[in-house]
Amino acid sequence: DIVMTQSPLSLPVTPGEPASISCSSSQSLLHSSGNHFLDWYLQKPGQSPRLLISFTSNRASGVPDRFSGSGSGTDFTLKISRVEAEDVGIYYCMQALHTPTFGQGTKLELK
């Protein structure tokens, strides 16, 4: 199984400031198609997860452009350009190259 490791696990952020979450995989997520099979999800308190980004950098429908994803090989990053109150929750990366596995989650909270 591919192991996904996120850091940090806790992320206090001042509203309006940027935030960054890292995700590393135990093996490359590069598919023969040229895409990296890495998704990002946000689970707000009391809600189901919501897809933010697929294939490393493709924002899902309705996701604000302050969210961006990047990376290649085994190292990936989710960036929020300016954190808003509605961004609070737990962020998960997930690889879909093989049977899917999630990272441990990063809890973003406001300072």
Checking phi first, is residue 85 left (phi over 0); if not, alpha (psi -120 to 50) or beta? alpha
What would the x/- binding string for other proteins be over residues 49 to 88, using CB under 8 A?
xxx--xx--x-xx---------------------------
Total site size for other proteins, rule CB under 8 A = 27
What would the x/- binding string for other proteins be over residues 17 to 56, using CB under 8 A?
------------------x-x-x-x-x----xxxx--xx-
Q: Is 104 in the site for other proteins (CB under 8 A)?
A: yes
Query: Vertex 48, ends 45 and 54: CA angle to 5°?
Result: 110
CA 93 to chain centre: 4
**Pair of tokens at residue 74:** 């085994």
**Pair of tokens at residue 13:** 């952020």
Q: By CB under 8 A, name the one of 69, 80, 103, 108 that touches other proteins.
A: 103
| SS3 assignment, position 29 | coil
Four-CA torsion 64, 108, 54, 99, nearest 10 degrees: -160
Candidate segments 17-25, 67-75, 76-84, 90-98, binder of other proteins by CB under 8 A: 90-98
Summarize as ranges the residues that interact with other proteins (CB under 8 A): 1, 35, 37, 39, 41, 43, 48-51, 54-55, 58, 60-61, 90, 92, 94, 96-97, 99-105
